[in-house]
Amino acid sequence: MALLQCFFGRPSQKLLNFTSQNSPILYRYIKERFFSMTRNDLYKNTQVVSASWYLHVGLKGITSSCNTKRKNALLFNQQNQCHLTTKSTLPQVPLFLHAERNKERPAIIDREGRLNYGDILHHSMNLAVDILKLYSATDSMKLNGERIALLSEPNAAYVVGMYASWICNSISVPLHTSHPASEWEYFLSDSQCSLILVTHTLLDKISPVAEKLGIPVKVISREVIGEPYEKNRWFQPDHASNPKKVRKQYESRKQRWFDSPAEQVMQKPALIVYTSGTTGRPKGVVLTHGNLSSMVNGMHTSWGWSTQDVILCVLPLHHVHGLVNVVLTSLASGAVCVMEPKFDAPSVWNLLTAPVVKNLDRNINLFMAVPTVYIKLMEHFKENVEAKEDVMSATFIKRSLSQNIRLMVCGSAAMPGSASTKWQEISGHHLLERYGMSEIGMALSNPLHGKRVPGSVGTPLPDVEVQIVKPNVYSPLGYDVIAQGDSRRTVVTKGCEGEQGELLVKGPSVFKEYWNKPEETLKTFTKDGWFKTGDTAKYEDGAYFIVGRTSVDVIKNGGYKISALGVEQHLLEHPDIVECAVVGLPDITWGQRVAVIIVLKSGTSMELPDLRSWALERMPPYQIPTVLKIIESIPRNAMGKVNKKELVRDFFPEALEK
């Protein structure tokens, strides 16, 4: 039994069904041991026996080939083969509850000061009670999945607003501060929000929209959140007659909806994030508490998060990258999140190279951003260090980043190879590239330690399965598998080596549904339950590569399938090109022509013959653009992504008329 207690886990419903049919005694034990457990039990018994282990023992006997070290659990694949996977040490609970384990630790540092995890819980509980009063629900202390919008600058008020919404059992709908009123109106109407949480500074902007839609507004203040208090509201009973006798212990507080069995709690919707709109009108992606927990656990394990980490956040928080990867993962891990109101290159350079962070005795050691951020940092470096031949500053920057920062991650869009190489020269860091999207969180990643294949997105994270498939109308499932893999290995179908196809994903992090769009939800899954990412991928050299969007970034020209991203990477090697976007234009002869939109360096010019002459030495002739458009800047959304359908519509309207 001592050996068995080295394993941590919780049985899935599938395993429970299997044991009920094959081993009634084992079924009763698992049912009593696990499904009667509340969150209290999970925290008090952090070493419990994995149901997968019991299943293995009950049906197969102990297999000597399986490692029995702690933090590993036995799992079964579809062929009932036993293999190992590293398990995260984070309990499977709603993310805000991780703060209870770290209440004395620093949690957030913003321009207004510092808050510990206990402070976050206290102020979140205060706001939650105020929200419940608005709904006349203080007796039950919970709502029924009402949608509550959140509009706040990236600071502690944002986290308190989201945590308070979750404490009330509502669904948080984050809005972006820079979106126009028409976008806010669409998101609020589509998600059917019944309340808007907004900071003072944004109240005037959102008020006309709120009045038009008839949605009440609740103002949250960062200044109030920073005020001192005597008793932590989170750890007190609601009607404590003698506060001095109230124990500030987790066990003493009143039971809430989130103290129910984990199986019920984790299925509840927590968040609606809207897609970038690169494939049409933004859709509301519904993520459950279980989805968010799985996303965080995958990154916590794979990227080595700990309570000693300090991460800098300069990303917007209405998408998964900034919200989940940076803020929620750091807070679930007991780390410190330094929140800046917006990206500013000089400020970021100062923070990344500072020996300690203000209000903290540690330096920043984690940074995650989109390619645009890294490129702007390099532009600032070039103008202020390289142009002045400041060797001393360049040496200081490289030494500081190499010694103090343990990991730098890039994602949300493809990083040009030349830019990645340049960043490594400046910082000493080989950027870790990964792949994810709103519907699935992070699915693939290059390794924290070990070889990172240039241009690839690595391999699947723990508990994530992927497939690369190609259409086949004669197949019962409608497709044939090119390659299939998980965090342990990938198997390529014989004869399909090097082939491209659509990337499919399956796992506990995959979203629940598109809000109020059942038909759209159904279309995005295969018959056997795989999520269709819409991205074209290939597997080679032991890693996965994203070729581009299936319908947008794969250009079909004269029988060739051309990766728009690959063409862009080549063109960005040109010394005069700052940015570019490659699109396919309809052509009666070739199917599609390769067109490029380019932003040039100041003071330079370019004609199509010049570009083609330069490209002939670097690219196959069929990949070289035949159409050139030069503009001042390429439109991007808040996450740095380019909507190529809009580019074609705005810059090549004549192509759509043909």
Decide: residue 41, CB within 10 A, 0-12 exposed, 13-18 middle, 19+ buried: middle
Q: What is the rounded distance in angstroms from the CA atom of residue 368 to the CA atom of residue 408?
A: 6
pLDDT of residue 549: 73
CATH number for the region 465-504+518-549 comes to: 2.30.38.10
Instruction: Grade residue 489 by pLDDT with cuts at 50, 70 and 90.
Output: very high
554-657: in CATH 3.30.300.30: yes
Which of 154, 147, 373, 152 has the alpha carbon at shortest distance from 273?
147
Q: What is the rounded distance in angstroms from the CA atom of residue 421 to the CA atom of residue 428?
A: 10
Here the tokens at position 433 are: 């590239």
Write the DSSP string, 540-589: ETTEEEEEEETTTTEEEETTEEEEHHHHHHHHTTSTTEEEEEEEEEEETT
Which of 19, 67, 341 has the alpha carbon at shortest distance from 202?
341
Q: What is the rounded distance in angstroms from the CA atom of residue 655 to the CA atom of residue 301?
A: 48
Q: What is the rounded distance in angstroms from the CA atom of residue 382 to the CA atom of residue 82?
A: 53
Which of 79, 66, 78 has the alpha carbon at shortest distance from 7?
66
Amino acid residing at 351: L
pLDDT of residue 279: 53
Residues of the chain with CATH 3.30.300.30: 554-657
Contacts of residue 584, defined as CB under 8 A and 6 or more positions apart, other chains included, come to: 555, 556, 557, 562, 564, 592, 593, 594, 595
pLDDT at 90 over 60: yes
Sign of CA dihedral 473, 476, 478, 480: negative
Sign of CA dihedral 93, 220, 110, 359: negative
pLDDT at 437 over 50: yes
Here the tokens at position 19 are: 């044991």
Instruction: Grade residue 190 by pLDDT with cuts at 50, 70 and 90.
Output: very high
Q: Three-class SS of residue 595?
A: strand
Amino acid residing at 7: F
Q: What is the rounded distance in angstroms from the CA atom of residue 419 to the CA atom of residue 295?
A: 28
Angle between helices 13-22 and 24-34 (to 10 degrees): 150
Q: What is the rounded distance in angstroms from the CA atom of residue 53 to the CA atom of residue 75?
A: 8
Instruction: Grade residue 500 by pLDDT with cuts at 50, 70 and 90.
Output: very high
Give the residue ranges of DSSP H helices in 71-140. 117-134
pLDDT at 52 over 50: no
pLDDT of residue 49: 30
Section 540-565 average pLDDT: 81
Contact (Cβ atoms closer than 8 angstroms) between residue 11 and residue 28: no
Contacts of residue 342, defined as CB under 8 A and 6 or more positions apart, other chains included, come to: 154, 314
pLDDT of residue 550: 73
Q: Identify which of 47-61, 66-80, 310-324 has the greatest average pLDDT.
A: 310-324
Contact (Cβ atoms closer than 8 angstroms) between residue 503 and residue 466: yes
Mean model confidence pLDDT for the chain: 83
Instruction: Grade residue 474 by pLDDT with cuts at 50, 70 and 90.
Output: very high
Q: What percent of the chain has pLDDT over 90?
A: 62
Q: What is the rounded distance in angstroms from the CA atom of residue 154 to the CA atom of residue 614?
A: 44
Q: Which residue has 């979750």 as its token pair? A: 166
Decide: residue 607, CB within 10 A, 0-12 exposed, 13-18 middle, 19+ buried: exposed
Here the tokens at position 299 are: 């990154």
pLDDT of residue 122: 95
Lowest mean pLDDT among 38-42, 563-567, 595-599: 38-42
pLDDT of residue 34: 47
Q: Three-class SS of residue 476?
A: coil
Residues of the chain with CATH 2.30.38.10: 465-504+518-549
How many residues are present in the chain? 658
Q: What is the rounded distance in angstroms from the CA atom of residue 121 to the CA atom of residue 86?
A: 30
Instruction: Say if strands 513-514 and 284-288 run parallel, antiparallel, or are unpaired.
Output: antiparallel
Q: What is the rounded distance in angstroms from the CA atom of residue 572 to the CA atom of residue 586?
A: 24
Which of 305, 306, 342, 302 has the alpha carbon at shortest distance from 322?
342
Q: What percent of the chain has pLDDT over 70?
A: 81
Which of 554, 548, 493, 502 has the alpha carbon at shortest distance from 524?
502
pLDDT of residue 411: 87
Contacts of residue 392, defined as CB under 8 A and 6 or more positions apart, other chains included, come to: none
Q: What is the pLDDT of residues 205-249, one digit of tens each?
A: 999 999 999 999 999 999 889 888 888 888 865 444 444 544 444
Section 602-629 average pLDDT: 91
Lowest mean pLDDT among 77-91, 485-499, 520-534, 621-635: 77-91
> Residue 386: CA atoms inside 13 Å, Cβ hemisphere, count?
11
Q: What is the rounded distance in angstroms from the CA atom of residue 210 to the CA atom of residue 215?
A: 5
Write the CA distances from 407 to 364, 365, 526, integer angstroms. Answer: 10, 7, 36
Q: What is the pLDDT of residues 122-175, one digit of tens each?
A: 999 999 999 999 999 888 888 999 999 999 999 999 999 999 999 999 999 999
CA 622 from centre of chain: 36
Q: Which residue has 């500013």 as its token pair? A: 344
58 has which bridge partners?
none
Instruction: Grade residue 21 by pLDDT with cuts at 50, 70 and 90.
Output: low
Lowest mean pLDDT among 16-20, 129-133, 435-439, 573-577: 16-20
Which of 480, 161, 147 has the alpha carbon at shortest distance from 284?
147
Decide: residue 645, CB within 10 A, 0-12 exposed, 13-18 middle, 19+ buried: middle
Q: The CATH number of 95-230+258-427 is which of 3.90.650.10, 3.30.300.130, 3.40.50.12780, 1.10.10.10? A: 3.40.50.12780
Instruction: Grade residue 588 by pLDDT with cuts at 50, 70 and 90.
Output: low
Q: What is the DSSP secondary structure assignment for residue 623, as one 8-state letter? A: G
Decide: residue 80, CB within 10 A, 0-12 exposed, 13-18 middle, 19+ buried: exposed
Here the tokens at position 529 are: 């339950």
Bin 263: left if φ > 0, else alpha if -120 < ψ < 50, else beta. Answer: alpha
Contact (Cβ atoms closer than 8 angstroms) between residue 234 and residue 253: yes
Backbone phi and psi for residue 88, each to the nearest 5 degrees, phi listed first: -70, 150
Q: Three-class SS of residue 181?
A: helix
Write the DSSP string, 636-649: --TTS---HHHHHH
pLDDT of residue 256: 84
Q: What is the pLDDT of residues 358-395, one digit of tens each?
A: 999 999 999 999 888 998 999 999 999 999 889 999 99
Contact (Cβ atoms closer than 8 angstroms) between residue 129 and residue 172: no
Q: What is the pLDDT of residues 253-292, one digit of tens each?
A: 567 899 888 889 999 999 999 986 555 568 999 999 999 9
Q: What is the rounded distance in angstroms from the CA atom of residue 84 to the CA atom of residue 71?
A: 10
Contacts of residue 250, defined as CB under 8 A and 6 or more positions apart, other chains included, come to: 43, 100, 235
